[in-house]
């Protein structure tokens, strides 16, 4: 039976859940919600506070690639369907008018060739920009193997672009795909995106993100962090996302399927630890070489990376809450940017004698007070 457009959108937006490399949140409160006619609307944290809603979908879940971790790879038996660029643009504008959507995240399986697929993604954005005069947020997924000219066109049309790095290095990447080339299809485009969005370049306004598939290969966390350092400090990307590989979705001949040392919940804890390390590097002033790994190169699953760093550096503590600078306060376990900002504001008007006066209570307060002095 032929599917109508909304039925296709429901399938394709559901299948887009495997790609996190956009502004969509990763916490319990900001995951996708069921919309009026389906389940393809995603809450997105706004810089001014609160959430906006984004349409997130694939153009097609048909794919000629063989990514062994992906449930949509070419040899799987899933219900395939596609939407035309005009269909996606029209549907988005209808929802944008009805619901005030703040933008669209658009990706796709590889329809025949990477270049043809990239052209269809760009065509959708072109219709939105020119036919519908839409000037809002568009995030386009860069398809591995697409030409640099097609990527340049995507950056001309989009507010943000992303290309998944997938794995930290060619050795791990080759275990995930036989048809993609790490240097040609991943590293070269990532560098091109970085160059074209650098300050002073024609696409400087465009934000770039990427994503690791965590645990599909046998990489360790220290290898991922090494690449994170390069992505942030050399490529100057906006964000890195992490997606824990889920055994059973991929082929049985990749390392992730054979690694039974991590239970399902622990796999998501590992993903969470990488997000915590990401925050330490982006928001807390930590360098990659300061992060502490256990034997084997992975983060502790029992304690967060900042607490582990604190335990390894007792000479840094206690931090004097009434006179320490912002950078030192951010090193205190249990204190984040919001609480540190509050501390800096409150102490202008008097001495801070306990964390309860700042509204910091419970486990966070107990953790922080171990490392603070109130003199």
Same domain, 242 and 346: no
Phi, psi (deg, nearest 5) at residue 108: -170, 155
Q: Residue 29's pLDDT is what?
A: 42
212 and 324 fall within a common domain: no
Cβ neighbours around 359 below 10 Å, total: 9
pLDDT at 273 (0 to 100) = 97
pLDDT of residue 26: 42
- CATH number of the CATH domain containing 329: 1.10.150
State the CB neighbour count (10 A cutoff) for residue 22. 27
Of 159, 154, 153, nearest to 207 by C-alpha is 159
Extended strands (E) in 223-360: 239-244, 319-320
- Last residue of a domain, which of 303, 321, 348? 303
If one counts the domains in the chain, the total is 2
Q: Which of 277, 303, 329 is the last residue of a domain?
A: 303
Q: What is the mean pLDDT of residues 367-372?
A: 96
If asked whether residues 127 and 53 sit together in one domain, one would say: yes
Q: Which pLDDT belongs to residue 41?
A: 57
Q: Mark whether 191 and 218 lie in a shared domain.
A: yes
Residues 174 and 280 in one domain: yes
Block residue for tokens 């939407």 = 83
Do 50 and 93 lie in a common domain? yes
Q: What is the DSSP code (8-state) at residue 60?
A: B
- The string of pLDDT tens digits covering residues 84-134 is 999 999 999 998 888 888 899 999 999 999 999 999 999 999 999 999 999
105 with 182, same domain: the answer is yes
Nearest one of 295, 289, 282 to 309, comparing CA atoms: 289
- Quote the domain boundaries for residue 9: 5-303
Residue 124, both tokens: 């959708």
Q: 9: part of which helix (H) or strand (E)?
A: helix 5-15
Tell me if residue 96 falls in helix, strand or coil: helix
Of the residues 285, 303, 321, the one at which a domain ends: 303
Residue 140 clears pLDDT 90, i.e. is over it:
yes
pLDDT of residue 54: 84
99 and 225, same structural domain?
A: yes
Using the predicted structure, report yes or no on whether residue 24 has a pLDDT greater than 60.
no
Q: In terms of domains, do 319 and 281 share one?
A: no
Together in a domain, 355 and 238: no
pLDDT of 341 above 70: yes
Per residue in 49-97, pLDDT tens? Answer: 566 788 888 999 999 999 999 988 988 888 899 999 999 999 999 988 8
* pLDDT of res. 260: 57
Q: List, for residues 203-239, the tens digit of each pLDDT value.
A: 999 999 999 999 999 999 999 999 999 999 999 999 9
User: Which of 211, 277, 276, 275 shows the shortest CA–CA distance to 241?
Assistant: 211
308 domain residue, yes or no: no
């Amino acid at each position: 039976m032929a599917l109508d457009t909304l039925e296709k959108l429901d399938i394709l937006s559901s299948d887009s859940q495997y790609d996190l490399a956009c502004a969509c949140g990763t916490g319990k409160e900001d995951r996708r919600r069921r919309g009026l006619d389906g389940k393809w609307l995603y809450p997105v944290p706004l810089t001014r506070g609160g959430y906006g809603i984004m349409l997130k979908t694939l153009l097609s879940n048909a794919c000629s690639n063989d990514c062994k971790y992906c449930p949509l790879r070419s040899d799987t038996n899933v219900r395939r369907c596609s939407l035309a660029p005009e269909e996606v643009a029209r549907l988005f504008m209808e929802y944008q008018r009805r619901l005030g959507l703040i933008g669209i995240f658009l990706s796709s399986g590889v329809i025949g060739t990477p270049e043809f697929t990239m052209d269809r993604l760009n065509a959708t954005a072109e219709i939105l920009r020119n036919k519908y005069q839409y000037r809002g947020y568009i995030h386009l997924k860069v398809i591995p193997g697409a030409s640099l000219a097609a990527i340049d066109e995507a950056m001309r049309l989009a507010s943000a672009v992303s290309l998944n790095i997938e794995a930290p290095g060619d050795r791990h990447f080759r275990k995930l795909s036989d048809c993609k080339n790490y240097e040609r299809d991943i590293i070269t485009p990532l560098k091109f995106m970085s160059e074209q969005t650098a300050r002073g370049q024609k696409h400087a306004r465009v934000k770039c993100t990427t994503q690791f598939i965590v645990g599909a290969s046998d990489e360790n966390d220290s290898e991922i962090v090494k690449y994170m350092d390069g992505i942030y400090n050399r490529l100057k990307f906006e964000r890195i996302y992490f997606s824990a590989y889920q055994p059973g979705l991929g082929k049985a001949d990749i390392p992730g399927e054979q690694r039974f040392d991590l239970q399902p919940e622990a796999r998501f804890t590992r993903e969470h630890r990488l997000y915590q390390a990401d925050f330490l590097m982006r928001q807390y002033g930590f360098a990659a070489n300061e992060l502490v790994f256990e034997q084997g190169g992975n983060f502790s699953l029992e304690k967060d990376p900042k607490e582990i760093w604190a335990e390894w550096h007792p000479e840094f503590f206690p931090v004097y809450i009434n006179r320490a600078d912002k950078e030192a306060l951010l090193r205190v376990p249990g204190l984040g940017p919001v609480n540190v900002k509050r501390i800096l504001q409150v102490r202008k008007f008097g001495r801070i004698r306990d964390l309860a006066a700042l509204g910091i209570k419970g486990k966070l307060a107990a953790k922080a007070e171990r490392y603070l002095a109130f003199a």
